[in-house]
Amino acid sequence: MTDHLASGDAAPTSATPTPSGLTHFNAAGKAAMVDVTAKPETNRTATARARIVMQPATLALIQAGTAEKGDVLGVARLAGIMAAKRTADLIPLCHPLPLTQVTVDLTPNPAANAVEIAATVRTAGRTGVEMEALTAASVAALTIYDMCKAIDRAMRIEALRVTHKAGGKSGEFSQS
C-alpha cells in the first residue's frame, strides 16, 4: 500500500486537527501540510535558545578567536541565519516563509563553560516562525561543534527550546 492517490481520488486540501490537537494530518490520518490560505497575515516573531557546553580550554580558544578553523562565533552566526532561511527544505511540512529578519546571538558563558545561543526570527505571514528559530539555534550550535570537534569531542548541545513567540491566532508565549 502506498501514500499515492489512485487516479480520480481527490486530494485532501488541508490538514485538520486530530482529537489530540495535532494539525499536520489530513482526514485520513496521513501527514499533510496545513492549509494557511484563510489565515490573516500578522507580524510573527519567535526566539529559540540552545547552549553548547565544552571544556574551558575550548571556550577560551573561541573567545580569543584563535581556534584553528577561524572565527567560530562569526561562522556559527552566519550558519544559523542561513539555516533559518532553509528550514522548509529541512522540515518536510514547514511552509517556505519570507523572513524579514534573523538574528543569532552567541554569548560565551565562562561560568557554565558554554556558548549560549539565542536566535530570533521575524516575518509578516500566515504561519509562525518557531521552526525557523529552532533551526537557526540548532545549526549555530552544530557549527560550533563542527569547528571545534578536533580539540573537544565531548562537547554537548543542550536545552534547545522556543522561549518566545508572538503573533497569530494563538497569541504570545514565553518561557525561560
Which residues participate in catalysis according to the annotation? Answer: 146
Q: What nine digits make up the cell of 2?
A: 502506498
Give the C-alpha distances (Å, rounded to integers) separating 29 from 10, 25, 122, 170. 15, 5, 31, 24
Upper half-sphere CA count for residue 32 (Cβ side, 13 Å): 21
Backbone φ and ψ of 41, nearest 5°: -75, 130
- Cβ contact 23:93 at 8 Å: no
